[in-house]
């Protein structure tokens, strides 16, 4: 298409859409003529608060989520909050889960408190409230990316909070039963529970954080069926974020303080299935 249209390296690819459109367009821009310019206009909350910032591009490949991609920051990201009014309730909450995740990773409690005190305006998608929410959320993500733009220092990896558990849940639900955000919210709570079990987290922080996901009605008590365990665990084993062959989970220690660590199979099992004693693995 770029060739047919006669696009050169100085031209822009402009993407207008959600995460898939923006990630794919940015990936195409990163490899076309070894890189042409790209402008992203995200239309979903998920894309506004996560996908467009930080230059991760990619697409799914042979069944793996974002298996091919590159780091290629967009020339410009144009965020237009009124577009959020067009989203379904479920799609809007899909993005809010990432905002809640940012509230835990923030060095301060401002975003967490805002999510509690302005809940009704946030759910009504009041424009001024949305502007503040987007700014605060993006500020948190930016603070991690600036320190570790290409995820080489174990800092940007914190943004993966809830995602290792979450991707496995998404995969068990064939990427349709649970949205990305619903899975990430669920995964964040599993990570907080793991942190509590390992006694590495400030209990008050963990309990307040879990309460925040409950406040926004995420189904954080969901348990996978025993028959889904093998698929769930295999998906976890395939996670991209491994160190010396061990999948690295992001666990929390306190507000904005995290640790990357492996978890035993038994611990994962205890966290995700209701009656692990009976599982034949
Ligand atoms: N979505 C996580 C990151 O951009 O690193």
Question: What's the CATH number where 34 sits?
Answer: 3.40.50.1970
Which pLDDT belongs to residue 281? 56
Q: Is 72's pLDDT higher than 80?
A: yes
Q: What is the pLDDT of residues 11-48, one digit of tens each?
A: 999 999 999 999 999 999 999 999 999 999 999 999 99
Cα-to-centroid distance, 49 and ligand 1 (Å): 10
Average pLDDT over the chain, rounded to an integer:
94
Residue at a domain's end among 79, 111, 129 = 79
Task: Check whether residue 250 and residue 176 sit in a common domain.
Answer: yes
**Does residue 280 fall inside a structural domain?**
no
Bridge pairing between strands 246-247 and 242-243: antiparallel
Q: List the 76-77 sheet strands across, edge first.
A: 12-17, 37-42, 76-77
Which residues 6+ apart lie within 8 Å of 272 measured at CB? Answer: 165, 169, 190, 223, 224, 229, 232
Q: Is 175's pLDDT higher than 90?
A: no
Which of 47, 69, 141 best tests ligand 1's pocket when mutated (most atoms within 8 Å of CB)?
Answer: 141
**Does residue 100 fall inside a structural domain?**
yes
**Does residue 277 fall inside a structural domain?**
no
Q: Is 52's pLDDT higher than 70?
A: yes
Task: Check whether residue 195 and residue 74 sit in a common domain.
Answer: no
**Does residue 119 fall inside a structural domain?**
yes
Alpha helices (H) along 71-200 = 89-105, 110-117, 119-124, 127-147, 163-172, 180-197
The rounded distance, in Å, linking the Cα atoms of 251 and 35 is 36
Ligand 1 atom at shortest distance from the alpha carbon of 54 = 4
Task: Check whether residue 53 and residue 91 sit in a common domain.
Answer: no
The token pair at 271 is: 């966290």
**Does residue 59 fall inside a structural domain?**
yes
Task: Check whether residue 132 and residue 185 sit in a common domain.
Answer: yes
Q: Is 278's pLDDT higher than 70?
A: no
* Phi, psi dihedral angles at 255 (to 5 degrees): -50, 115
The rounded distance, in Å, linking the Cα atoms of 281 and 278 is 9
Task: Check whether residue 250 and residue 138 sit in a common domain.
Answer: yes
Among 88-92, 164-168, 173-177, 224-228, where is mean pLDDT lowest?
173-177
Which pLDDT belongs to residue 224? 94
Question: What's the CATH number where 154 sits?
Answer: 1.20.1090.10
Count of Cβ atoms closer than 10 Å to residue 277 Cβ: 7
Cα-to-centroid distance, 55 and ligand 1 (Å): 9
Task: Check whether residue 131 and residue 263 sit in a common domain.
Answer: yes
The token pair at 59 is: 């697409």
Q: What is the pLDDT of residues 128-159, one digit of tens each?
A: 999 999 999 999 999 999 999 999 999 999 99
pLDDT band at 5 (very low <50, low <70, confident <90, very high): confident
What's the average model confidence in pLDDT over 252-259? 98
Task: Check whether residue 199 and residue 261 sit in a common domain.
Answer: yes
Task: Check whether residue 93 and residue 210 sit in a common domain.
Answer: yes
Nearest CA owner, ligand 1 atom 3: 159
Cα-to-centroid distance, 13 and ligand 1 (Å): 22
Ligand 1 atom at shortest distance from the alpha carbon of 144 = 5
What is the per-residue burial (b if ≥16 Cβ within 10 Å, else e) of 113-142? ebbeebeebbeebeeebbebbbebbbebbe
Cα-to-centroid distance, 201 and ligand 1 (Å): 23
Task: Check whether residue 109 and residue 240 sit in a common domain.
Answer: yes
What's the average model confidence in pLDDT over 171-188? 93
**Does residue 167 fall inside a structural domain?**
yes
CB-defined site of ligand 1, < 6 Å: 50, 54, 56, 156, 159
Q: How many domains does the chain have?
A: 2
**Does residue 278 fall inside a structural domain?**
no
Residue at a domain's end among 37, 54, 79 = 79
Task: Check whether residue 130 and residue 159 sit in a common domain.
Answer: yes
Task: Check whether residue 90 and residue 73 sit in a common domain.
Answer: no
Print the domain residue range for 161. Answer: 86-272
Ligand 1 atom at shortest distance from the alpha carbon of 157 = 5
The rounded distance, in Å, linking the Cα atoms of 178 and 164 is 14
- Enter the DSSP assignment of 88: -
Cα-to-centroid distance, 145 and ligand 1 (Å): 8
Which of 53, 77, 152, 160 best tests ligand 1's pocket when mutated (most atoms within 8 Å of CB)?
Answer: 160
Residue at a domain's end among 79, 101, 125 = 79
Which pLDDT belongs to residue 279? 56
**Does residue 6 fall inside a structural domain?**
no
Task: Check whether residue 247 and residue 165 sit in a common domain.
Answer: yes
């Amino acid at each position: 298409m770029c060739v047919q249209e006669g696009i050169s390296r100085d031209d822009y690819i402009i993407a207008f859409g959600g995460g898939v459109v923006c990630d794919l367009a940015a990936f195409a821009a990163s490899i076309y003529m070894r890189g042409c310019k790209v402008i992203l206009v995200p239309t979903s909350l998920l894309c506004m608060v996560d996908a467009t910032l930080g230059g991760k591009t990619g697409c799914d490949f042979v069944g793996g989520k974002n298996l091919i991609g590159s780091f290629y920051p967009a020339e410009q990201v144009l965020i237009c909050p009124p577009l959020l009014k067009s989203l379904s309730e479920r799609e809007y909450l899909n993005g809010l889960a990432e905002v809640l995740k940012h509230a835990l990773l923030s060095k301060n409690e401002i975003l967490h408190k805002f999510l509690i005190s302005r809940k009704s305006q946030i759910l009504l998608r009041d424009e001024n409230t949305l502007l503040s929410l987007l700014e605060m959320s993006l500020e948190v993500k930016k603070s991690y990316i600036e320190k570790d733009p290409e995820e080489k220092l174990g800092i940007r990896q914190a943004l993966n909070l809830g995602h290792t558990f979450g991707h496995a849940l998404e995969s068990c639900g064939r990427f349709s039963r649970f949205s990305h955000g619903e899975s990430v919210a669920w995964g964040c709570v599993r990570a907080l529970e793991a942190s509590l079990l390992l006694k590495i987290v400030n209990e008050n922080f963990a309990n307040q954080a879990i309460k925040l996901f409950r406040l926004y009605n995420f189904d954080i008590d969901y348990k996978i069926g025993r028959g889904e365990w093998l698929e769930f665990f295999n998906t976890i084993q395939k996670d991209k974020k491994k160190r010396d062959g061990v999948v690295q989970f992001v666990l929390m220690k306190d507000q904005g303080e995290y640790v990357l660590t492996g978890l035993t199979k038994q611990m994962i099992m205890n966290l995700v299935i209701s009656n692990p004693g009976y599982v034949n693995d």
